Structure 1
Amino acid sequence: MDTTVQVRQRGSLTLPADLRERYGIEPGDTFRLLDLDGIFVLTPMTPMVPELAWEIERARVEAGLDTAALLTALREERARYVAETYGDD
């Protein structure tokens, strides 16, 4: 596809409606702009936090851990890491 877009006064670009529809682009979606020596590549940023949160929740349920047990294990692991990394002061 070959199309022309115009940079607005505040630096905004408007993507053509057919592209937004084809790729399911919604208001508020986030993109990364790569500058390859003057060739701009626009790629969608996939929100990883919600995806990661669901994966952690799935693993927690599969392991049979409740939230309190998970937090306790995380605190213990953090304390072990700090002791190994920075010593037992």
Structure 2
Amino acid sequence: MAAYYAKPITLEEISRAACLSPNHFLRSYKQLFGRSPHQSLTELRLREAKRLLLRTDTSITDICLNVGFHSPSSFSCLFAKRFGVSPSRLRQQK
């Protein structure tokens, strides 16, 4: 997942790569990592977005889209929930 975090990834694709059924892969993944593959993918995307916000001047919308989110508003909401500050506020504080 880490290599393809910015692209749309489905459970079916991931489970096929692991040679498991989607349900078996999901159960095994949750048991091993304590969260769903979707939650892990979202975390990867949010961490990369944070890194880009702090190290580049790329617009927040472009960062949102470049890391794999499709909606700037949902990205901003998830980002604030995860890091306790909005993407624009984080950038202002850097």
**TM-score, structure 2 normalization:** 0.27
**TM-score, structure 1 normalization:** 0.29
Higher relative contact order (CA 8 A, sep 6+): 2
Q: Which has the larger radius of gyration?
A: 1
Higher helix share: 2
